[in-house]
Amino acid sequence: MKHWEDEVLTRAFTYQNEQGILRGKELGIVTTLGYPVAEFAVGRQQGYSLSEIFTPYQALAQQAGMKFLAPLPVSQFAYLDAPARARLLIRYQQYLTVQDPFRFADQENWLEERLRKLAAKGTSAQQDQLNLIIETMQHQQEKIEDLKWQVQLMRQAEEG
């Protein structure tokens, strides 16, 4: 990794006040961990948080004029069962393709888009089933938005 950094991340290539080829791009890190995520904290087995470990990359992104994305840690992949690996695959696909992969509404929009594409290729029965799932998701999202609005009104009433 160090050799790659020295070869690729030259001053002219990286620094935004020079050529700044990386300016405006995003830097996201997907990393595997041999320990549970909880062990990466002050006072825990690893002794450092993931935020601390990735600080040099955040500094690099800032120097290059890049947007630093929250890392996507993959904890103890070998111990994940098939359903957990499937959820991880979805999270990874979202990390690569969604504007804000950690925002629930963006995740939901991504999933809805995939379900619509899947429905378009399915049988009539599959289309009906997938459309019902999409409608349910949309209804639930409307409920969430309504609850957010109610909370906002309650906060405004408290503040007076």
Query: Where do the structural domains in the chain lie, given as residue ranges?
Result: 1-76, 103-160
Give the percent of the chain with pLDDT over 90.
Answer: 72
pLDDT digits (tens, 9 = 90+) for 65-111: 899 999 999 999 999 999 999 999 999 999 999 988 889 989 999 99
Q: Any idea which architecture 1-76 has in CATH? A: 3-Layer(aba) Sandwich (3.40)
Calpha distance 38→34 (Å, rounded): 12
pLDDT digits (tens, 9 = 90+) for 4-21: 778 877 777 777 667 778
Beta carbons within 8 Å of 135's beta carbon, 6+ residues apart: none
- Say which residue the tokens 């349910």 belong to: 136
- Say which residue the tokens 């499937």 belong to: 86
Torsion, Cα 51 56 57 61, to 10 degrees, reads 110
